[in-house]
Amino acid sequence: MRVARLHGAGLIELHDEPSPVPGEGEALVRVGAVGVCGSDLHWFADGAIGDASLTRPLVLGHEMAGVIAAGPRAGQRVAIDPAVPCFACRACRAGHPNLCERIVFAGHGSTDGGMREYLTWPAHRLHPLPDSMDEVDGALLEPLGVAVHAMDLAHLRLASTVAVVGCGPIGLLAVQLALRSGAATVVAVEPLAHRRSLAASLGASHAVAPDEAASTVSAATDNWGVDVAIELAGTDAAVATAIDVARPGARVVLGGIPDGDRTSFSASAARRKGLTLVMVRRMKEVYERAIGLVDTGAVDVRSLVSDRRPLDDVADAMKQAAARTGIKTVILP
């Protein structure tokens, strides 16, 4: 099978390797679609992300879907949950499998991801897709799941005001989820014009550049600020904007992954407003909810896909995704 491996920062090479053999409790999956995530771009640019660094050539890709290739479920189209918690540690038993002390995650550390033709994965982490969804839709369930988890952390109430700061794929999904959750006003904040345009077409009440965020929110909330600010850009400037537009007592959800594993903000601004800051770590067990949202048409994932590329083009596709000229790049192994 063909496999794309990251050998170092900016260096992806294609290899011919034997197809994997499923172990006990695993299934062999022919990979149909893999989304390029911002965390993949961190790996590609730096050979690292956060406190994890490349220790061997790694197969990237954790936004995945495909078709089970053998066994009793052969032919079934599935979304592949990239996270495999132990379900036995203290974090798992406390209801936080996304914080599992022994979690295995595709395309991270020593675990190969989906940018290859076949993979083996625990069968219980393969979610059947309804007829209304293809494999590209299935791959986008992972970023949708992160957005769902962010919204769960936001504790959004009906008729709330919301700012989404950073309108990449997860931010655009968060805009849709805020509207579906009953938000009265959703302000999308994004420096790139094409992403602002898509946010507006998906229903954002206002789609503005960062330098317009404070005045727009002030006018929309009678000089009060939003009830919830969701940051999904991973920059200090975005965090500062989220804090700036939040009202006193608001909740600020930080979901962006910063370069250099550091986030800084004005403590006095956050303290003076008495803000509650919460951090997003991947997602909890939300795949079934995410499937339902797409299957019923409540959330549109297809409009986010701006580029589809074969596995042979993966290095160029990563560079294009890093340039952020589109929205979501999908690799079709």
Cα–Cα distance for residue pair 84/98, rounded to 1 Å: 9
Looking at residue 268, its pLDDT comes to: 96
Identify whether the C-beta of residue 265 lies closer than 8 Å to the C-beta of residue 238: no
C-alpha 301/C-alpha 318 separation (Å) is: 20
pLDDT tens per residue across span 243-272 = 999 999 999 999 999 988 899 999 999 999
- Residues 104, 164: contact at Cβ < 8 Å? no
Is the model more confident about 49 or about 252?
252
Residue written as tokens 């074969």?
Answer: 310
| Inter-residue contact 227 to 247 (CB < 8 Å) | yes
Cα–Cα nearest to 129, from 74, 75, 79: 79
Percent of the chain with pLDDT over 70: 100
Structure tokens at 52: 């994890």
SS3 at position 303: helix
The per-residue pLDDT for range 264-275, each reduced to its tens digit, is: 999 999 999 999
- Decide: 175 and 202 in contact? Cβ < 8 Å: yes
pLDDT tens digits for range 80-98: 999 999 999 999 999 999 9
Q: List the chain domain ranges.
A: 2-140+301-332, 146-279
User: Which fold, 146-279?
Assistant: Rossmann fold (3.40.50)
Q: For domain 2-140+301-332, is the CATH number 1.20.1740.10?
A: no
Whole-model pTM: value is 0.95
Integer-rounded Cα Rg, in Å, for the chain is 20
Cα 180 from Cα 44, distance rounded (Å): 34
pLDDT tens for 180-221 read 999 999 999 999 999 999 999 999 999 999 999 999 999 999
Q: Do domains 2-140+301-332 and 146-279 have the same CATH topology?
A: no
Q: What is the pLDDT of residues 7-36, one digit of tens each?
A: 999 899 999 999 999 999 999 999 999 999
What is residue 235's predicted lDDT score, i.e. its pLDDT? 96
